[in-house]
Amino acid sequence: MIDWNQVIELREDVGHDDFGEVVEIFLEEVEETLRGLSHGAQLEAMLHALKGSALNLGFTHFSGLCAEGEVMAARGEGGAVNLGAIRTSYGESRRIFLAELSDRLAA
């Protein structure tokens, strides 16, 4: 669910001191976008943004679901995108990420 190598690479790129702030901003932005996520005209663009954010922080399963939904929306099948599964994947990814982050970064 989490690509820890990506997480470590991101921390190296942004610096240890700024990493916590980057994580906080990521989580806030994703949660704000998820609150507004619906089967509307902006679905494809919103899923694209979520996918990119998720990839940056190593949320692989979540980003994969966003990518699938983005393709469906681009084909005009946005109404069939399982928004519940996307939200659930984010919640589970977030839980695992926060629970394991300090141990993973200490290794």
pLDDT at 72: 98
DSSP string for 19-55: HHHHHHHHHHHHHHHHHH--SSTTHHHHHHHHHHHHH
Q: Is the pLDDT of residue 107 over 80?
A: no
Mean pLDDT of the chain: 96
pLDDT at 106: 87
pLDDT band with cut points at 50, 70 and 90 for residue 99: very high
User: Is the pTM higher than 0.95?
Assistant: no
- Count of domains in the chain? 1
pLDDT at 102: 93
- For residue range 13-52, list pLDDT tens digits in order: 999 999 999 999 999 999 999 999 999 999 999 999 999 9
- Please report which helix (H) or strand (E) contains residue 18, including its range: helix 16-36
- Residues of the domain holding 47: 4-106
- H helix runs in 37-107, sequence order: 43-56, 60-74, 83-106
